[in-house]
Chain A
Amino acid sequence: MKAPEQTSRLTNDYALDPRDLARLREKARFIRLETIRLIEIAKVGHYSSVFSAAEIFAALYYDVMSLKKGEPGWPSRDRFLMGKGHAAVGLFPILEEYGFISKETLDGYTRLGNPLGDHPDMRKVPGIDFSSGSIGHALSAGAGMAWGGRFAKEKFTTFVMTGDGEMQEGQVWEAALFAAAHKLSRLVAIVDRNGWQLDGRVDDVIGIEPLEEKWRSFGWETHVVDGHDLNALVPLLRRLKADETRERPACVIAQTIKGKGVDHMETEPGWHLGYLVPSDAERAIAEIMAREI
């Protein structure tokens, strides 16, 4: 896809320092490794949905978002919602690093009575800003938060990560219209455009292109970015958070690869939900350790 004009307007003010780049790469690696470790407990999970979003998680939680360790309910924190709630397993290790949940809780992922399941539950898990699991709701919830934040004169930004198959849900577009009509400028949608859904390629199931034009025509500022390129992703998200002049919400279409980081997951269809037997998991871990994304 050609570089969109909005991206070219980016200045270098928000550029990523090489040390930060190395640190965030390590965090993305940590998210992938932890995902493999936790799914080994459940014996089935959404590896590839986390892997496509690992750099997005790392950029948001370890650079862009304003959060306070040990204070998941800090009123001025930036918010994060997942429309693709099935990638929550990639978020839980981050919450543990922030001191929102204990190591013991993390290690009890999916076991009887543990608050951590396949989808995020705000009632049970401190640091989860909104529950999800039924695809298509998160942007509406995020829009409500952005409206409430503005009314309360708070400056927080609400980031909503959605799947690309999620674009097939009608409620997404109700929310898109609503957010633009109410000029919710502190709302940022990030579409993890990994190209796959359960039944196959998104474009083969129910096509969603031209996606950027759709968002733009709904009144949003749009950006298309390589979702694994931290040097592009982080400056863009930093700027979207800092921008006080924007009068509309912003949508980032993050071009990603489902299963990114593990070669056979990138190429074999069918990894939306699966299980790596221990020998395969070992090879995947070795690959993640060796590869630089």
Chain B
Amino acid sequence: MTAFLTKDTLAEGSWQYRALNAVNPGLDHFSEGLFALVEAGVPVIAGSADLQYSNGLNRFAERYPERYISFGISEQNMVTAAAGLATTGHVPFVATFASFLGLLCCEQIRMDVAYCAQPVRMVGHHTGISLGFYGTSHHATEDIATTRAIADLTVISPADGPQFAEAIKASKDWPEPIYFRIGRGREPDVYAKGTPFTIGKAIEHGIGEELTIIACGLPVHPSLEAAKILNAEGRSVGVIDMATIKPLDREAILKAAGRSKILMTAEEHNVLGGLGSAVAEVLCDEGCGIRLVRHGIHDEYSLIAPPTHLYAHYKLDTAGIVEVARTALAKIR
């Protein structure tokens, strides 16, 4: 199906009009990453469940209408059909809100994509609490936990649009299916366009002598800002961007554990089952004995508020991460 809503026909106040006028520039990287794959000869087929204006796939649909599938509001059918489609030699990229992919479609991801070993790429967008006042049904604070427990599935949580585009390009020869969890496209950029990305390799922005923050997704940017503030005060704080949740870069964690006095994780996810849990597992496995402060949503349903208000409330903005990091630093004996 082609994109039949255009700037000429849409009301200026409509969400789709705003999307067409790029209110969420970060999401442009989604289609741009796919364009690069198609140009490289990858048989990409993209699909969405009635959210092409929310995830930016309308741009892909305009350029490659024959390669775009409109699924309507049927997320489970979309994921399973993508697996069937992959058996015919195509590389499907299917996208919907992360809350729907990671929970509603959990069994389809397990049974039809991962168990069947089909190279489907699933993109859960507006992850974490980025849908703000849309409420709990639209918040995705469990999707890392569900997807990383599924065997033979890669889980990637890019920090920004440019990294997402590079991760899409890096997926070209990746044999496993991938679950990408991305934000809403309004995150400040951490990386310059074209910064190389390797699946499974953490990006080390520094190891702190005192504290290293291991973050993924949206909290990477405020973690870096927080580290700057604390380092300016004479503390030694480093940041690792753990963009690939699975396979996890254990070496990067162990390196930080060996040099820092305390570790902290920062994620837009329940602290149960997410990045914090994944890091804790490595530290336990290796008997590191280092203290880990897991920062995120503490096993609760998030409040309703505009996203920036929520980030402040849950201490996931720069000021909040500084505050949590100070508490962590105070625990160093």
Contacts and interface: CB of A to CB of B under 8 A. Distances in A.
B321 interface: no
Contact of A142 (B71, B84, B89, B115): B84
Interface string A119-148: 001110000011101100100111111111
Interface residues of A, number: 31
Nearest to A142: B84
A148 B72 contact: no
From B72, B87, B107, B111, residue with most partner A Cβ within 10 Å: B87
Interface string B87-130: 11110100000000000000110011001110000000000000
A276 interface: no
A178 B80 CA distance: 12
B236 to A, nearest CB: 48
B37 interface: no
Interface in B74-91: 74, 76-77, 80-90
From B66, B77, B89, residue with most partner A Cβ within 10 Å: B77
Given A137-B112, A149-B88, A144 B83 contact: yes
Given A130-B87, A152-B88, A144 B80 contact: yes
B69 interface: yes
A177 interface: yes
B84 A145 contact: yes
Contacts of A149: 88
Contacts of B90: 148, 151-152
B111 A177 contact: no
B322 interface: no
B221 to A, nearest CB: 37
Contacts of B82: 144
A187 B112 CA distance: 19
Contacts of A148: 45, 84-90
Interface of A: 75, 121-123, 129-131, 133-134, 137, 140-149, 151-152, 154, 170-171, 174-175, 177-178, 181-182
22 contacts: A75-B89, A121-B115, A130-B84, A131-B112, A133-B111, A134-B111, A140-B77, A140-B81, A141-B83, A141-B87, A144-B82, A145-B85, A145-B87, A147-B69, A148-B87, A148-B89, A151-B66, A151-B88, A174-B74, A175-B81, A177-B74, A178-B81
The 6 closest A-B pairs by CB, nearest first: A144-B84, A148-B88, A144-B81, A140-B80, A141-B84, A174-B77
Given A137-B80, A143-B84, 5 more contacts: A140-B77, A147-B84, A147-B85, A148-B45, A177-B72
